[in-house]
Copies of this chain bind each other. A is one copy, B any other.
Amino acid sequence: MATVLRGLQDIFFTQNDVLILACSGTGGMEAALVNTVPRGGKAIVLSAGVFAQRWAHIGRAFGIEIVEHQVAWGRAVDPADVARLLVQHPDAVAVFGTLMESSTGVVHDVAAIGEIVGKTKALWVVDAISGAGAIECRTDDWGIDVLVVGSQKALMLPPGLAFLAISKKAWQQMDRVECQAFYFNLKLHRAKLREGPTTPWTPAHTLIAALAENLKIMQSEGIDQLVAYNRQLAIATRAGIEALGLTIFANPPADGMTTVSVPDGVDGGVLLKRLESRFGVKLAGGQMQLKGKIFRIAHFGMIDALDILGTLSALEIVLLELGWSITLGSAVAAASQHLVLAEPALVHHAN
């Protein structure tokens, strides 16, 4: 446990306490919320997609007043709006947002928002479930008070664990709050962290053992190198998509994934089904109001350049089959331009 916790601190760029919970990422979000905001308290949610919205759903389920700041899906929240919201709602206990909003593919300027929130009494709580370890995420430098991360994304584990990194300011707030939690009561987790380190409830120990192995791989490559690698893949993927005349949906796009607008005249559902049935490429479509309108390509964790080049090729073939005007090889050629002599090497040890 001690080794794993130190490894997670490295990956998350933090000296804060890291906790391991046996639950999915949503459980980690609930823990972050119910420990920091009391029943009847107020919280600001930066709602830029399905996952940010989940903060609002969780809060309302626990009788918390949610100020939901909604932006068009596919866009990120402007840090200036956060400053304004904090002035309008000086009683807000915390601001909840996402690093990489994986329902739309946008990245938030977590550092800029952190600087603004850090000047107030409020906490900055970030869902980095899919983002941390995939794209830059400097927990301490960026003033993130509670970071929430999932096991099955950049950390390349099966689902079943959530990780939280908790600042001193957040612990002080938690000490003031009578939280609506038992399984997710982070003060019970803190006590066992100090004693052990261990956990108050039976840990999902096989996943923790696997995490120790994955951390060794990630540390041997270096987290900065991994982030740079994913960024290179992002640039290549976007270039490939644009060479097909398709449009990147997210603005600004996160470097861990590329979200593409389904072109007019193409059935998004048929496109994805065909990619899977013909090539075994499983891309996610849009959720809620984005269903059928976008598809999403991840490029982090176990996914490497070979996967991306293959996926772009398969996409060319399937689009052609669906009647879209495509020059075979054009997406791959455009992507490859960005990979010639690229550093770091385009394969990593996890594969």
List residues of A whose CB falls within 8 A of some B CB: 22-27, 30, 57-58, 61-62, 150, 152, 158-160, 180-185, 201-207
List the B side residues contacting A57 at CB < 8 Å: 182
Q: Looking across the interface, which residue of chain B has its beta carbon closest to that of A63?
A: B180
Indicate whether A152 sits within 8 Å of B30 (C-beta atoms), given known contacts A58-B182, A160-B22, A160-B160: no
Assess the B22–A61 pair: CB atoms within 8 A.
no
List the B side residues contacting A62 at CB < 8 Å: 180, 182
- The listed residue (B27, B182, B203) touching A183 by CB distance below 8 A is B27
List the B side residues contacting A183 at CB < 8 Å: 23-24, 26-27, 30, 58, 184
Closest chain B CB from A4 CB (angstroms): 16
List the B side residues contacting A58 at CB < 8 Å: 182-183
Closest chain B CB from A136 CB (angstroms): 24
A205–B151 CA distance with the chains assembled, in angstroms: 12
Can you pick out 28 interface pairs between chain A and chain B where the beta carbons lie within 8 Å of each other? A22-B22, A22-B24, A22-B160, A23-B23, A23-B27, A24-B201, A24-B202, A24-B203, A24-B204, A25-B202, A26-B182, A26-B201, A27-B27, A27-B183, A30-B183, A61-B182, A62-B182, A150-B202, A158-B204, A158-B205, A159-B205, A159-B206, A160-B204, A160-B206, A160-B207, A180-B180, A183-B184, A204-B204
Q: Looking across the interface, which residue of chain B has its beta carbon closest to that of A162?
A: B22
Assess the B22–A202 pair: CB atoms within 8 A.
no
List the B side residues contacting A24 at CB < 8 Å: 22, 183, 201-204
Indicate whether A159 sits within 8 Å of B202 (C-beta atoms), given known contacts A61-B185, A62-B180, A62-B182: yes
List the B side residues contacting A180 at CB < 8 Å: 61-62, 180
List the B side residues contacting A201 at CB < 8 Å: 24-27
List the B side residues contacting A152 at CB < 8 Å: 202
List the B side residues contacting A203 at CB < 8 Å: 24, 159
Q: Looking across the interface, which residue of chain B has its beta carbon closest to that of A150?
A: B202
List the B side residues contacting A207 at CB < 8 Å: 158, 160
List the B side residues contacting A160 at CB < 8 Å: 22, 160, 204, 206-207
Chain B CB count within 10 A is highest, among A27, A182, A206, A207, for: A182
Closest chain B CB from A11 CB (angstroms): 20
